[in-house]
Amino acid sequence: MKISKLTDSISLQRSVEQANVDHLTTVRQVIEDVQKNGDKALFAYTEKWDGAKLTSLKVTQNEIDEAFESFDGQLIQDLEEAATNIRAFHSKQSRQNIDFPLAKNSYIKYQITALDSVGLYVPGGTAAYPSSVLMNAIPALVAGVERVVIVSPPSKEGKLPASVLVAAKIAGVTEIYKVGGAQAIAALAYGTDSIPAVDKITGPGNSYVALAKREVFGKVAIDMIAGPSEIAVIADETAYADEVASDLLAQAEHDRFACSILITTSESLAEQVALEVEKQLKQLPREEIARASIENFGHIYVAESLEQAIDAVNELAPEHLEIITKNAEAVAEQVKHAGAIFIGRFSSEAVGDYFAGTNHVLPTNSTAKFSSGLCVDDFLKKTSVVYYSEEMWKEQYPKIARLARMEQLEGHARSVESRSWNKGDLN
């Protein structure tokens, strides 16, 4: 792993491939086809791309129950405990309406309501992470979304992974469809006979899925389109090199474009971590992926001071930040920008990825400067309500009319004045 002195210019930018133009053409055709031909198009694409010849898209209650009964009991218990933790923390994020009384029996209000329906995309194969099912579905359900739907591509045998069905059941989702790719996104956005449309689509997916989400954005809402994952670790001489190395590698094993950065005030830790990374890499099942990530995007920086390290992290605004130093909590308080912060050596990122209760869908690529991880807010919307009584109107309308005329919007001025036209002695 590369080691260098920390200078001013460090970055998370990775040269990720540009969107493939051929992919975009395909995606647009698929969306048009699903809009025109509905379920027929869904069955055809599922046969063509997933090799599954289906007669019905919806997963039956029977299939869900079977998956649950055949699944490892210990893992079910672990998933249930994780779900309980996630539900508990996200429930704290619920919002209250705001009532704001004005003079003369008037008021304004802020009405906070849940979206009606949300679709969650779950990738197929080895990327079907049950933890992501929990992290996406639970905030929507806590927000009060009445209809939460999962779509996921089936295997050749026409089945979804048991782990996905189990996680869905634990989260509380029972409307699940065997359809993936751009065709699933099109179905969620425009609706078919089998799959009524939803108002928002969340969840990760391959480049076809990401492109399709961009295409339907505006017709429905979408979550962020996340870039590859990343971690920054701030550590001083009190950190154990093997632990820091294992955390850097946990990030690197995600994919080749993942980015793991260590910023340390200890030159000796820097050297030991580099050795440990190499040692642990050789024993990692996903060595090839992790090695590519570490070689291309991994970096150890030696900082002159903790302050310099913190400044650099605030510039980076990393998705994940671990702080393994003396007085780690005090250091955390100086961090302004990060998706999630993990304090001390016993809070490795995996604690939050799976279990603590915080969300693992987080802003990547320095966007933590201005955006946040997935949360209950993402499934709520706010409507403002205005009520002016006659007395209030009488007092205020001349001001409103003057402001409208200042902007040369005479029609606006007349609309507030119209309440007195020919209606007796109102003004």
Q: Please list every residue from 261 through 300 that binds a copy of itself, using CB under 8 A.
A: 280, 284-286, 290
Q: Please list every residue from 209 through 228 that binds a copy of itself, using CB under 8 A.
A: 218, 220-221
Specify the residue, 43 or 190, whose C-beta has the smaller distance to a copy of itself.
Answer: 190
Rounded to whole angstroms, the Cα distance separating 421 from 40 reads 59
The answer to the question of whether 412 is labelled as a binding residue is: yes
Specify the residue, 63 or 287, whose C-beta has the smaller distance to a copy of itself.
Answer: 287
Give the CA-trace dihedral at 250, 251, 255, 258, to 10 degrees: -160
By CB under 8 A, name the one of 177, 297, 301, 354 that touches a copy of itself: 354
101 phi and psi, to 5 degrees?
Answer: -70, 140
Report the residue count for the chain.
427
Go through 72-103 and write b for each residue having 16 or more CB atoms within 10 A of its CB, e for each that does not.
eeeebeebeebbebbbebbeeeeeeeeeeeee
Q: Please list every residue from 175 through 204 that binds a copy of itself, using CB under 8 A.
A: 199-200
For position 171 contacting a copy of itself by CB under 8 A, the verdict is no
Q: How far is the CB of 375 from a copy of itself (least distance, A)?
A: 6
Specify the residue, 215 or 353, whose C-beta has the smaller distance to a copy of itself.
Answer: 353
418 phi and psi, to 5 degrees?
Answer: -60, -25
146 is catalytic: no
For position 367 contacting a copy of itself by CB under 8 A, the verdict is yes
For position 5 contacting a copy of itself by CB under 8 A, the verdict is no
Q: Please list every residue from 102 through 161 that binds a copy of itself, using CB under 8 A.
A: 102, 108, 110-111, 113, 115-116, 126, 129-131
Catalytic residue among 230, 320, 349, 360: 320
Q: How far is the CB of 396 from a copy of itself (least distance, A)?
A: 6
Give me the amino acid identity at 293. Answer: S
For position 350 contacting a copy of itself by CB under 8 A, the verdict is yes
320 is catalytic: yes
Part of the chain binding a copy of itself (CB under 8 A), chosen from 15-23, 62-70, 148-156, 246-254 = 246-254
Number of C-beta neighbours around residue 69 at 10 A: 11
Specify the residue, 47 or 146, whose C-beta has the smaller distance to a copy of itself.
Answer: 146
Q: How far is the CB of 243 from a copy of itself (least distance, A)?
A: 5
For position 416 contacting a copy of itself by CB under 8 A, the verdict is yes
The answer to the question of whether 206 is labelled as a binding residue is: yes
Specify the residue, 46 or 136, whose C-beta has the smaller distance to a copy of itself.
Answer: 136
For position 414 contacting a copy of itself by CB under 8 A, the verdict is yes
Specify the residue, 45 or 388, whose C-beta has the smaller distance to a copy of itself.
Answer: 388
For position 424 contacting a copy of itself by CB under 8 A, the verdict is no
Q: Please list every residue from 289 through 348 that binds a copy of itself, using CB under 8 A.
A: 290, 329, 332, 335-348
The answer to the question of whether 254 is labelled as a binding residue is: yes
Query: Binding-site residues, please?
Result: 121, 183, 206, 229, 251, 254, 320, 353, 407, 412
Query: Binding-site residues for Zn(2+), please?
Result: 251, 254, 353, 412
Residues annotated as catalytic are: 319-320
